[in-house]
Structure 1
Amino acid sequence: MATFSRKTPGSRTLNRGLSILRAFRQGGSTLSNTDLAERSGLPKPTISRLTHSLVEAGFLLFDFKRKAYRLSPIYLNLALIYNESSEIVKIATPIMESLAETANVNVGLASADLSDIVYLASIRGEKGGFFRQVTPGSRRPVETLSLGLSYLNAVDEATRTDLIKTIAARQAGHVEFILDRIAKSRAQLRTHGYCVANWHSGLIAISRAVSGLDDSIYSINISFSPQAERDADHQTREYGQLLTRLADDIARSWQETLLDHESGLNDPT
């Protein structure tokens, strides 16, 4: 995965403003200056200046009744543009849907945003069993999902070290447990080609990473509720084989699309 860099310095103010926008997550539609300061780590005077600018620019709306900020409709437009332009998701989704339907499992595709994992697509094929509502745009800390663990093991060593430092800071009371979880996932990926997470009662998730059209790292997972009459380990191995084929099919389709693009660019006609 290439690292973006330029000789000219970036804008510190812009980075701080973007950290405010990242503070908005599912489970809360409005955030006060105090909320934003707690989530972003920025001082309140800075928050006040930045939220003022973001409201003026139309990226935030101020709720006078709650005395708090909420996102403006522009994000729906940005999400629409992303979905329309993302060949990664367009190509992967029908392949994921086919497996979800035939194998009666749930399938997810995600990418990283700093130290979080963001779902790009989530297909629920399982009938009954444990239900957890996951929609495109849902985000979780990388250390809490199989998708995140497979991503952690696919990045370069320097990136992994930086991510683990961030994780250790926010999981201060559970560092040993988290580091052990990450180490076990690495061992599973080396041995089986996928890592396993069964932290939610009644649900097992397995995941592996794959390189996309843009050489970025994406994570793919299968989740399922183990059948009482069958051994969960047996099911995990069975679905692990399906996950390997799914990842290969998606990666091959991405590569074929890339080759088609390159062929079109090189075609003199």
Structure 2
Amino acid sequence: MKRPPKKAATDRSFVVALSRGLEVLRAFGPNDGLLGNQEIAARTKLPKPTISRLTYTLTKLGYLTQVPRFEKYQLAPAAMSLGYAALANLGVRHLSQPFRDELMQQTGGAVAVGARDRISMIYVGQARSSLTVGVQLDVGSRIPIATTAMGRAYLCALQGDERASLLRDMREHYGSRWPRIKEGIERSEEMVAKHGFAISVGEWQDDVHAAGVALTLNDGTGPYAFNCGAPAFRFTEDRLLNDIGPRLVAMVRKIEAALGGTAAPQSRRPDKSDNKKTKSGGKVARVVEGIR
């Protein structure tokens, strides 16, 4: 983790103390149990005396729980409730669930939707089965933008300053590895322009192959991105290009239609259940937007 950028730190509207407190909460990962002040300081790159004051304050506010026996802390229910509230209000997660479940059943792959968190994508919804035992990711998991199908699809959906800023952050993060990673991103840009989806063939993890498609909304949120992945022996590169990728594009188009309350175009492989799902799109979209 990094300290706030100098530009943000000198902004009169930017509250540095608040940003540091949030950095402490972000230091706790999905697989972390207890963290001490020294571990938090190392992760946030903040001075240990500052961390001591912040953990004390967050404990008093109910966002951390101190475990005196180990002199460490863990996230308290108040902190976790923020994440659950965010997920509960994320309409695209709920609306996309039946579509993700359907694609999972059709392909045998794990199907997820994610949103950006700095230079990573964080899973906000996941559908998987026993066939995807090699893909051990769930809600809250983070994957890199630069080397994954989901991340590259997301990146291709960005424009202007937001895209340029993300590329600068990734270049700084990856250092000497950046030229090679950039080549993969450029290949994905060409693929998205031609086919509408990106792929990652062992570029993030050797034994995981996936396709990714971005979803851009008109309400100012997102973009979001979806992926469909499986162990490499199940999803060969040829299958990604000729089967999984096109199916994923069709799924995302259906979700866009449901959000807009219109009928989705037929995919290359029309399914009997398609009509039932697209006809209810308008109603589903209204529910997601909070209109009963």
TM-score range, shorter chain: 0.7 to 0.9
Spell out, residue by residue over 1:32-78, the C-alpha distance to the aligned partner (whole angstroms, 9 max, x if none). 22222222222222222211211111111122233222111223433
Aligned match of 2:274: none
Sort the Cα spacing of 1:76 and 1:213 in 2 relative to 1 into closer, same or farther, 3 A.
Answer: farther
User: Is contact 1:213-1:255 (8 Å) kept?
Assistant: no
SS at match of 2:157: coil
User: Is contact 2:149-2:212 (8 Å) kept?
Assistant: yes
Sort the Cα spacing of 1:161 and 1:248 in 2 relative to 1 into closer, same or farther, 3 A.
Answer: same
Aligned partner of 2:63 among 39, 54, 59 = 59
Aligned match of 1:23: 27
Aligned partner of 1:41 among 39, 42, 45 = 45
Give the distance between the partners of 2:290 and 2:56, measured in 1 at CA. Answer: 47
Which residues of 2 match residues 117-266 of structure 1 at below 5 A? Answer: 117-125=121-129, 127-128=130-131, 131-199=134-202, 200-212=205-217, 214-215=219-220, 216-225=222-231, 232-256=237-261, 257=282, 260=286
User: Which is further off, 217-226 or 237-246?
Assistant: 217-226
Give the distance between the partners of 2:187 and 2:35, measured in 1 at CA. Answer: 37
User: Is contact 1:88-1:212 (8 Å) kept?
Assistant: no
AA aligned to 1:81 is A
Please report how far the alpha carbon of residue 173 of structure 1 lies from its aligned counterpart in structure 2 after TM superposition: 3.9
Please report how far the alpha carbon of residue 213 of structure 1 lies from its aligned counterpart in structure 2 after TM superposition: 6.1
Aligned-pair identity in percent equals 24
Please report how far the alpha carbon of residue 264 of structure 1 lies from its aligned counterpart in structure 2 after TM superposition: 9.7
User: Is contact 1:95-1:250 (8 Å) kept?
Assistant: yes
Please report how far the alpha carbon of residue 235 of structure 1 lies from its aligned counterpart in structure 2 after TM superposition: 4.3
Spell out, residue by residue over 1:81-127, the C-alpha distance to the aligned partner (whole angstroms, 9 max, x if none). 333333211110011101211232221100112222110111114x5
AA aligned to 1:161 is A
Aligned match of 2:114: 110
SS at match of 2:228: strand
User: Is contact 1:130-1:202 (8 Å) kept?
Assistant: no
AA aligned to 1:237 is N
Whether 1:13 and 2:17 are equivalent positions in the alignment is yes
Aligned match of 1:96: 100
Give the distance between the partners of 1:181 and 1:101, measured in 2 at CA. Answer: 30
Give the distance between the partners of 1:22 and 1:155, measured in 2 at CA. Answer: 25
Give the distance between the partners of 2:290 and 2:33, measured in 1 at CA. Answer: 45
Give the distance between the partners of 1:152 and 1:87, measured in 2 at CA. Answer: 21
Spell out, residue by residue over 1:165-194, the C-alpha distance to the aligned partner (whole angstroms, 9 max, x if none). 222232224222222222222122112211
Give the distance between the partners of 2:239 and 2:108, measured in 1 at CA. Answer: 16
User: Is contact 1:213-1:254 (8 Å) kept?
Assistant: no
SS at match of 1:205: strand
Please report how far the alpha carbon of residue 234 of structure 1 lies from its aligned counterpart in structure 2 after TM superposition: 4.0
Sort the Cα spacing of 1:162 and 1:41 in 2 relative to 1 into closer, same or farther, 3 A.
Answer: farther
Give the distance between the partners of 1:264 and 1:94, measured in 2 at CA. Answer: 19
Higher relative contact order structure (alpha carbons within 8 Å, sequence separation ≥ 6): 1
Aligned match of 1:82: 86
Give the distance between the partners of 1:222 and 1:43, measured in 2 at CA. Answer: 41
Please report how far the alpha carbon of residue 219 of structure 1 lies from its aligned counterpart in structure 2 after TM superposition: 0.2
AA aligned to 2:103 is L
AA aligned to 1:131 is G
Spell out, residue by residue over 1:110-166, the C-alpha distance to the aligned partner (whole angstroms, 9 max, x if none). 0112222110111114x5365122111112332242211111121123112222222
- Tell me the matched-pair count: 258
Aligned match of 1:4: none
User: Is contact 1:149-1:182 (8 Å) kept?
Assistant: yes
Give the distance between the partners of 2:124 and 2:285, measured in 1 at CA. Answer: 23
User: Is contact 2:111-2:226 (8 Å) kept?
Assistant: yes
User: Is contact 2:120-2:142 (8 Å) kept?
Assistant: yes
Gaps of 5+ in 1: 1-6
